[in-house]
Amino acid sequence: MVLISKKNRKIILEHLFKEGVMCVKHDPSACKHNELEDIPNLHVMMVLRSLASRSYLSEKFNWQWHYYFLTNEGIEYLREVLHLPAEVQPSTLTKMRPSRPALGGGDGVDDGKGKGKGKGKGKWDRD
């Protein structure tokens, strides 16, 4: 049995809700977690394992790493535990906005010439 302080548990849950996903190396003896520097890896492993056993997270295990993904039930549970409003979403569910306009073409005029190697016609080009 591992005793985890409320402070550490809250930090883990907040990070999980903010990101929507979390990965943990299968190394209980590791001093610190790679994303949360102040928290032992064992504490993160146990909290996420507990949430996965209650079907709040789905788990994938590959090459000694556990990958945890929030489910819809997990999102609702964390909202209740962390006292968050319904408008707040994990970053995996927020839609990324494109940095350039969708219908805007290039700012230059297209003259039909590509940016290929040669300037002239090659030996296979025929008129």
pLDDT tens profile 41-96 = 889 899 999 999 999 999 899 998 889 999 989 988 988 888 888 777 777 777 66
Taking the CA of residue 123 as centre, how many other CA atoms within 13 Å lie in the half-sphere pointing to its CB? 0
pLDDT at 52: 92
- What are the DSSP E strand ranges found in the chain? 21-25, 57-62, 65-70
In the predicted structure, residue 120 carries a pLDDT above the cut 90: no
Query: Residue 84's closest CA among 17, 22, 12?
Result: 17
Rounded mean pLDDT, 105-122: 61
Lowest mean pLDDT among 14-28, 90-104, 111-125: 111-125
Owner of token pair 């073409």: 105
- 56 with 77: CB under 8 angstroms? yes
Phi (first) and psi of residue 42, to 5 degrees? -65, -40
